[in-house]
Amino acid sequence: MKVAVTGSSGYIGSVLCKTLKEQGQYVLACDTSERKTHHYTDMFINESFDGDVFVNTIISHNVECIFHLAASSLLGPSATDPLLYYHNNTARLITFLSKLRSRGWKGHIVFSSTAAVYGDRGEPVKETSIKVPCNNYGRSKLMCENVLEVASLYGINVTMFRYFNVAGGYGDVGQDFSEPHIITRICNAADGKSPLVVYGNAYPTPDGTCIRDYVHVRDICAAQIYAMDNHLYDTFNLGTLNGTSVLEIIEAFEQENAVRINFSFGNIRKGDPSYLVANPQKFVDTGFEYKYSNINQIVKSAWEHYNGV
* Rounded-to-integer distance, Cα 238 and Cα 260, Å: 31
Task: Give me the DSSP letters along 99-157.
Answer: HHHHTT---EEEEEEEGGGT-S-SSPBPTTS----SSHHHHHHHHHHHHHTTGGGGT-E
Contact 75, 137 (CB under 8 A): yes
Specify the DSSP class assigned to residue 309.
Answer: -
β-pairing, 157-163 vs 235-238, is parallel
* Rounded-to-integer distance, Cα 162 and Cα 274, Å: 18
Contact 11, 176 (CB under 8 A): yes
Annotated catalytic residue 275: no
* Rounded-to-integer distance, Cα 272 and Cα 261, Å: 23
Nearest to 4 by CA among 27, 37, 35: 27
The catalytic position among 40, 85, 118, 137 is 137
- The dihedral through the CA atoms of 170, 48, 114, 158 has a sign that is negative
Catalytic residue positions, numbered: 137
